[in-house]
Structure 1
Amino acid sequence: MTTDTAAADTETPDSSPTAPEAWELGRRDLLRIGAAAGAAIAGLGAIEIVRDPKPSAQVGKGATAATAIPSMCQMCTTACGIIGHVAHGRLLRITGNPEDPNNQGSTCGKGVAGTSVLYDPFRMLYPLKRVGERGSGKWKRITWEQAYTEIADRLREIRERGRPEEFAFQQGRNRSTDIVARFLNAYGTPSQFNHRALCSANRRAAIATTIGESDWDLGDFENSQYVLNFGSNWAEAHQGHIPVAIRMMRARRRGAKLVTFETRMSNTAALSDEWFCVKPGTDGLIALAMANVICREGLWDKTWFDTWSNYSAGKFAEHVAQYTPERAERESGVPAEDITRIAREFAAAAPRCTTICNRGSQSHRNGYYNDRSITALNALVGNMGKKGGWCWHPQSAWDEDFLPEPGPVPDKPIRKSIIAEAKDWPLANAFEGKKMKVAEVIYLWIQQRRQKVSALMTYNADTAWSFPEGKLVRSVLADEELIPFHVCIDVMYSETSHLADIILPWTTYLERWDIDARPPQGLIDYVGLRQPVVPPRGQSKDIREIFPELGRRIGGGMEEYFPWKTTEEYLEEYFKPIPGGFAHMKAHGVWMDPTKKPFYEPHLRRLTPEELDGSHEDPETGIIYKGTDEKTGKPAAIGIRIHGIARRGFLTPSRKAEIHSSFIVGKGKELGRNVEPLPVYEPIPSHQHDFPDDHLIMTSYKINVHNGHRTMQSKWLQEISHTNPALLNSATAKKLGIGSGDWIEVVSFRPIDPAVPGGDGSQVGTLRTRVRLTEGVHPIVIAIAHNAGRSVGGAYATSGQDTADNPGYGKTADADLDRLWWKGAISVPQNDLMPIYPDPVVGGQAYHDTVVRIRKV
């Protein structure tokens, strides 16, 4: 990478005071919590170690005295409450915020390592403009004035010619949802993409189908006595990572049993009472076989099921009769006697039992049905909404009714976007307010010219590295006919910013403001504040400053939606309903309504006389209606009469837990597709063949010290884990004459499946890597970690491969480069092997179904 800085100011890369102890303190903390061991205990050990008595307090003495500032982490999606310990304007270390109700003072290795990202020598600190061919790595530093002018001029032209949908916006882990939506809606573009289909779409759709009011389950793990885990690695890389882990381990200490079904010996599997190494994609069949046992032996809560499910227990028993434990054994590998025994144990623990599932079950071609089957197990034993059971909360973040966004708020766009609507998948955007966005097909569809894109903005989304078929993504980003203008907003230089026209240096989460919260593991919603613990380095800016400025410059009415002068002024208004307002949030970092109770069994709430006044009841279904639904124009359901009592019910069309869903059948018919109304098991077509010995199923996984694209630039975390050898079962390796440490070539193929894009069995990619032999992976599986294989982003991110100076400010000065002992370590970009492979019902990416051929080289 080369940089022309002649037109830029002469500000040094980092003018903050030096504090040699800062690196040592943070690194020591990281090692103390055991992250180097790569164990799940890394997060759990932090419960005992990284607590701080009170936020906003002075700690330490003399020259090392530090101010404790509460904020929120963003090293992963869990958004734990944290405390930044700051002295002389420099962050010394990070600990957990004990006032945060989710993580309760704990943090993990990634959270502790945030300091190393803040002070990373390869951070982008100044706006850059491309001066060579796109992807050449040639840049010149420009001023923010120049950047704003060029971007605003480009976006204004698109908007003024009446084609706002030609401005596409791709976001990754967006924790600034209010300002992003405000800017894009004010502009009028519907071409807004998240990464949900690459994360949790199938699971969310299964939950939304069943209970309606949420697409996120929150097992009451702390009070549970029995947990069935279908492919959730909560000890290392779950969306609720630390909040789930601390509650799960408390339950374990009190005797709760944990049974895990997973294709690999994860750290979660290692912490379990029992681990079953299953064939990929058979989780749903195992759950249905357990349902078979529970129904056949009368272990169900038949009264609850017949009362609160929209399908009778007898009919469901008839449905699951086909899914015997013996059939499940043949396909999954789990012994029938174990399936039977565990089904009995699970039912015996009801209602204090629950399931947990995640990518291991839902990131498959049949992922939606897998998770519907697992969810139905909970209804069968009557644990839904009960203490210690399978629970949920309608607020996946904070209560927006109590904390409404300050006005004026723009309306949603009226224009349409082909690539955003994802109409090829019946349930992708079927659930109101729960848009799934089948993002893995975006670049394929742009390549196919399904929709013209005149400008693309990528924000905290390293699509060129993290998306399936990475080579295709990079080829589209490099093509100036397909994408004439690309602006990348991010903290680090990456494969995606490498293919941009303008790079805007984004602040780290430790330098910016945000309103944030995650699904409440304690079943009471809360709101948190992310606030700067130190000033922004260099000329980095947050989007809360960037977007209002762009909106004002684009004009055309956009400026009306950004009336505040500063972010603090906006937040003052936002937090007015909270006792103590913005000042309370800055001092404590979090607020939770003390009058609220845990969200148990909301469907049982009796409707009040005021609610029933003016209502009418359907005599056949018992559903109670009042008024008209503003969106559909149909009568609005407010509850259901059960045994003579008017209750709230579930927020589904039937006001019951929908084991049978006519709604999804209808959505399928709209596209001429068959969507099964009941939970079923659909074998994965490309897995139903007798593979040659050298053909395996490739799966993906994450470890506890890496997450997405944000952690590999951390020298602390890279020192702990900087390689991703292929995990291969010892017996499989013996058949192929492969030994531990040998080099292999891995060739991947698209599925032979007409239901998915490009399902013709053709080759996707090839790479060479080394093998690590283990008994802890299924014999037909080759497992490769997701978090490695960078080609740009600095020496730490690439194990010394990228030795170019920082494009943001030239010469990189960091004495630690001399200590980069893992230079040349082998790491591979697994996503280059992944085909675009959406679940045909919802569109969630099938991360664990790719068929590959391996050979020793």
Structure 2
Amino acid sequence: MSTWTLTRRDLLRAAVVAGAGAAGLGGIEIVHQVTTSPGLAGGTIGAVRRVASMCQMCTTACGIIANVRDGRLLTVEGNPADPNSQGSVCAKGVAGPSVLYDPNRLLYPLKRVGRRGEGKWKRITWEEAYTEIADRLRAIRESGRPEEFAFQQGRNRSTDIVARFLDAFGTPSAFNHRALCSLNRRAAILSTIGDSDWDLGDFENSRYILNFGSNWAEAHQGHIPVAIRMMRARERGAKIVTFDARLSNTAALSDEWHPVRPGTDGLIALAISHVICAEGLWDREWFDRWTNYPAEKYAEHVAAYTPELAEAESGVPAEAIRRIAREFAAAAPRCTTICNRGSAAHRNGFHNDRAITVLNALVGNMGKEGGWCWHPMSAWDKKALPEPGPIAPKPTARSLIAEAKDWPLANAWQGNKMRVGEIVYLWIKERRQQISALMTYNCDQAWAWPEANLVREVLADEDLVPFHVCLDVMASETSNLADIVLPWTTYLERWDIDSRPPQGLVDYVGLRQPVVAPLGESKDLREIFPELARRIGGGMEEYFPWVTQEEYFEQYFAPVPGGFAHMREAGIHVDPAKKPNYLPYEKELTAEELKGTRTEDGVIHGPEGAIGVMVDGVARRGFGTPSRKVEVHSQFVNDRGREADRTISPLPVYEPIPGHREQLAQGRLIMISFKWNVHNAHRTMQSKWLQEISHTNPAWLNPATAARLGLAHGDWIEVTSYRPIDPEVPRGDGSQVGSLRTRVHLTEGIHPQVIAIAHNAGRTTGGPVASNGRDRATLPGHDSPDYARIWWAGSLSVAQNDILPIYPDPVSGQQAYHDTMVTVRRIAGGT
């Protein structure tokens, strides 16, 4: 296999070609930077009222200012008060009005009158909807089996109200999408430092950044906040090196792009570690002081992971790995890594991200300015801003599906709900747990989940799911399989307390507030759940004592200077007394903190567990791990594996993906997925503004690969996927999953053993915009004039999720999105 490296000049040229050819547009994220504001949030300019709120067009949740006139939203811009996004907003945020005013929105409660999936509905009143839902849920709760009520959520930015309702009901059957997003990465970080499940590289102050599969310029949880800081770092001379199977916009903005075989990121990190150790480039003093494993022993461990081995497996030249290792170490401590689904969404993703995390410990950059940093809070400070009481107790009932005990590191850390979401519907089909009622919220798992056809099969079966309520803004594949559909408000019509991991290393809190009145009869959970609780009764109503949502937030924001009124005006609050979270492990414990403690093997224990560690004779806070040090060797992980009768290495290792070598030798390809810069899961494809920009998803193939397969640019192909050949995963028998038909897009911007397809396409429900004019549903409003405005009607749009197998990493349960093996053959027809 050929290997190559592209310089920054090559990347910028290639990115324009790759972006334009694949989607029919340039691959540039539109960013609106507010440099001067014509007026503060909360004020008015002429007839225009400016309202501070928070975006939810993607998971980054940037602060925004809505410009409203006569009760109608005109435009959305960034809020300069947001310390993360600092007044910027991406194309998705700008497009908010197109979702708010979409003529195909769900605006009234609907009840199914035909078979599930048949698309026959009648409009009902909220009174009718509340009565039927409450009666069903009350019967489940009074049966003594509250776990039979399951709640399936997607991106939940209303965590407080959701947890309150489910806890008050007593159900533990809350299924999130953590395993379809970031479980491996979080588990790797928690097992190594214990302080956080999210790293926040101090990119703005860094001099060298190694990027392992993170597409921060297009589709990252920190997106705009990270991109801002990365570009400032570049302006100051920082070097960015990206390892990724695909030439993303992030790769194009880097100084170097190295195309890698999927699943080999961890091996590259171990090979870089090998060079750093072998050439004495490490910060041995820091490593020996602050980790639980001797530097010499770790050097012995990584000795086998040579750059030559990494080249053979990944395709990255050995000499490039040596050079990068030397450059990275020379920049320490102002160097850092960033990784995401490109490294983590694999069968070996936990080990990949462990290797990348420990690489930072080798050069002693952890917690230092310009280095690999973190913050103990991934949201607002909940001690300073406690949730208004009374608080419901946690459920005592058990949920086999939610606990997911087949995976040693799923739900392994208290307070981190690492549900294995991709196995929920398979296990329901296998009747491992009785589900009497399901509520679906902002998820659309019938389109977005791996083996989505299986999800649809289960949701259509009234024996498996007797009652299904779907709450969402738009009709979807999932709502089409519900019994009752409730119209949810958009983020521009509802209340929330929200914030994201602080890129500036100082936590903050934000307010999402309605910028316009809710359209039609749409309602938010904050109105729906209290009403359902009162109707279900049995004590549930006690946990919802407030009369209005405003009353609830008056209490919530009481500790903020200026209270709720200030939050409504500014939208964001940052405590000016707080400093960036640099070197938290060096904090000396006070005499008061040391009262009543005991020290054993250097670890300082208080009444509730370890609180610090003796380092050079000084009692310091240390890290949040059992040893209070960076756990290069994780006994916790090893023990969890042994309890589950599974062997998990306590040290970072590289484990090849089972079956890949053999299948690649047979001519199969590795299929990966990615997001376009203007889309985010199912929430953006209804936007006419964004869908017009990007509405197709052909298959990216390397020209050398296409030549081997006898394919030319634009040819129609059939892509057939297979389950893994792996006895440690569900249905790991190598059987066929399914096929799709698409067209070939030839580009040098893809690894020769890879085929890449964007998953932001292939909708069949949700209105004519979402489905490129082919919506087959019959919900009210789907005969709108928008059909005539879709000049791209009939454009190529395929559902990749239907052919992605359910493939949880055996260690944590993370969905291995980028390990699917496929065959490709040329076909004569179109769709």
The equivalent of 1:118 in structure 2 is 100
The equivalent of 2:3 in structure 1 is none
The equivalent of 2:794 in structure 1 is 824
The equivalent of 2:762 in structure 1 is 789
Q: Quick one: distance in 2 between partners of 1:754 and 1:213?
A: 34
Please say if residues 694 and 855 of structure 1, whose CA atoms lie closer than 8 Å, have aligned partners that are also in contact.
no
Please say if residues 693 and 736 of structure 1, whose CA atoms lie closer than 8 Å, have aligned partners that are also in contact.
no
Paired residue for 2:602, among 615, 622, 627? 622
The equivalent of 2:262 in structure 1 is 280
The equivalent of 1:712 in structure 2 is 685
Q: Quick one: distance in 2 between partners of 1:686 and 1:121?
A: 48
Amino acid paired to 1:761: G
The equivalent of 1:846 in structure 2 is 816
Amino acid paired to 2:698: P
- Asked if 1:681 is matched to 2:651, the reply is no
Q: Give the drift of 1:712.
A: 0.3
Q: What are the superposed Cα offsets for residues 510-553 of structure 1, whole Å, 9 maximum, x if unpaired? A: 00000000000000000000000000000000000000000110
Segments of structure 2 that go 5 or more residues without pairing to the other structure are: 1-22
Q: What are the superposed Cα offsets for residues 115-173 of structure 1, whole Å, 9 maximum, x if unpaired? A: 10000011000000000000000000000000000000000001101010000100000
Please say if residues 103 and 781 of structure 2, whose CA atoms lie closer than 8 Å, have aligned partners that are also in contact.
no
Alignment of 1:154-553 (within 5 A): 154-553=136-535
Q: Give the drift of 1:694.
A: 4.7
Q: What are the superposed Cα offsets for residues 24-67 of structure 1, whole Å, 9 maximum, x if unpaired? A: xxxxxxxxxxx995535423xx22679665211223x4xxx311
Q: Quick one: distance in 2 between partners of 1:841 and 1:817?
A: 47
Q: What are the superposed Cα offsets for residues 731-757 of structure 1, whole Å, 9 maximum, x if unpaired? A: 111111111111101110001000110
SS in 2 for 1:129: strand
Paired residue for 1:56, among 26, 42, 46? 42
SS in 2 for 1:331: helix
The equivalent of 2:727 in structure 1 is 754
Q: Quick one: distance in 2 between partners of 1:52 and 1:724?
A: 40
Q: Give the drift of 1:813.
A: 4.2
Q: Give the drift of 1:812.
A: 4.5
Q: Quick one: distance in 2 between partners of 1:841 and 1:601?
A: 30
Q: Quick one: distance in 1 between partners of 2:39 and 2:821?
A: 51
Distance 1:599 1:303, change over 3 A: same
Distance 1:373 1:53, change over 3 A: farther
Q: Give the drift of 1:246.
A: 0.3
The equivalent of 1:39 in structure 2 is 27
Identity %: 70
Q: What are the superposed Cα offsets for residues 667-690 of structure 1, whole Å, 9 maximum, x if unpaired? A: 111111101100000000121215
SS in 2 for 1:747: strand
- Asked if 1:837 is matched to 2:807, the reply is yes
Q: Quick one: distance in 1 between partners of 2:548 and 2:590?
A: 44
Q: Quick one: distance in 2 between partners of 1:688 and 1:396?
A: 39
- Asked if 1:613 is matched to 2:595, the reply is yes
Amino acid paired to 1:249: M
- Asked if 1:109 is matched to 2:91, the reply is yes
SS in 2 for 1:246: helix
Q: What are the superposed Cα offsets for residues 450-487 of structure 1, whole Å, 9 maximum, x if unpaired? A: 00000000000110000000110000000000000000
The equivalent of 1:21 in structure 2 is none
Q: Quick one: distance in 1 between partners of 2:741 and 2:36?
A: 40
- Asked if 1:127 is matched to 2:109, the reply is yes
Paired residue for 1:74, among 49, 56, 59? 56
Q: What are the superposed Cα offsets for residues 354-397 of structure 1, whole Å, 9 maximum, x if unpaired? A: 00000000000000000000001100000000000000001000
Amino acid paired to 1:205: A
Distance 1:725 1:648, change over 3 A: same
Q: Quick one: distance in 1 between partners of 2:329 and 2:413?
A: 31
SS in 2 for 1:107: strand
Distance 1:638 1:693, change over 3 A: closer
Please say if residues 50 and 105 of structure 1, whose CA atoms lie closer than 8 Å, have aligned partners that are also in contact.
no
Q: What are the superposed Cα offsets for residues 415-464 of structure 1, whole Å, 9 maximum, x if unpaired? A: 10000000000001111111210000000000000000000000001100
Please say if residues 68 and 85 of structure 1, whose CA atoms lie closer than 8 Å, have aligned partners that are also in contact.
yes
Please say if residues 82 and 107 of structure 1, whose CA atoms lie closer than 8 Å, have aligned partners that are also in contact.
yes
Please say if residues 104 and 781 of structure 2, whose CA atoms lie closer than 8 Å, have aligned partners that are also in contact.
no
Segments of structure 1 that go 5 or more residues without pairing to the other structure are: 1-34, 630-635
SS in 2 for 1:457: strand
Q: Give the drift of 1:817.
A: 3.5
TM-score (normalised: structure 1): 0.93
Q: Give the drift of 1:616.
A: 1.6
The equivalent of 2:710 in structure 1 is 737
Amino acid paired to 2:631: E
Q: What are the superposed Cα offsets for residues 260-295 of structure 1, whole Å, 9 maximum, x if unpaired? A: 000000000000000000001000000000000000
Amino acid paired to 1:499: L
Amino acid paired to 1:698: M
The equivalent of 2:553 in structure 1 is 571
Please say if residues 494 and 793 of structure 1, whose CA atoms lie closer than 8 Å, have aligned partners that are also in contact.
yes
Amino acid paired to 1:42: I
Q: Give the drift of 1:191.
A: 0.4
Q: Give the drift of 1:691.
A: 2.8
Q: Give the drift of 1:192.
A: 0.4
The equivalent of 1:11 in structure 2 is none
Q: Quick one: distance in 2 between partners of 1:460 and 1:831?
A: 17
SS in 2 for 1:258: strand
Q: Quick one: distance in 2 between partners of 1:50 and 1:465?
A: 42
Q: Pairwise CA RMSD of aligned residues?
A: 1.2
Distance 1:305 1:762, change over 3 A: same
Q: Quick one: distance in 1 between partners of 2:581 and 2:38?
A: 29
Amino acid paired to 2:733: D
Q: Quick one: distance in 2 between partners of 1:570 and 1:665?
A: 44
Amino acid paired to 1:681: Y
Q: Quick one: distance in 2 between partners of 1:214 and 1:52?
A: 39
Q: Quick one: distance in 2 between partners of 1:846 and 1:80?
A: 29
Distance 1:799 1:51, change over 3 A: farther
Distance 1:784 1:170, change over 3 A: same
Please say if residues 168 and 191 of structure 1, whose CA atoms lie closer than 8 Å, have aligned partners that are also in contact.
yes
Q: What are the superposed Cα offsets for residues 653-677 of structure 1, whole Å, 9 maximum, x if unpaired? A: 0000000000111111111110110
Amino acid paired to 2:208: Y
Alignment of 1:755-774 (within 5 A): 755-774=728-747
Q: Give the drift of 1:97.
A: 0.3
Amino acid paired to 1:71: S
Amino acid paired to 1:533: V
SS in 1 for 2:582: coil
Q: Give the drift of 1:810.
A: 4.3
Amino acid paired to 2:523: K
Q: Quick one: distance in 2 between partners of 1:595 and 1:812?
A: 56
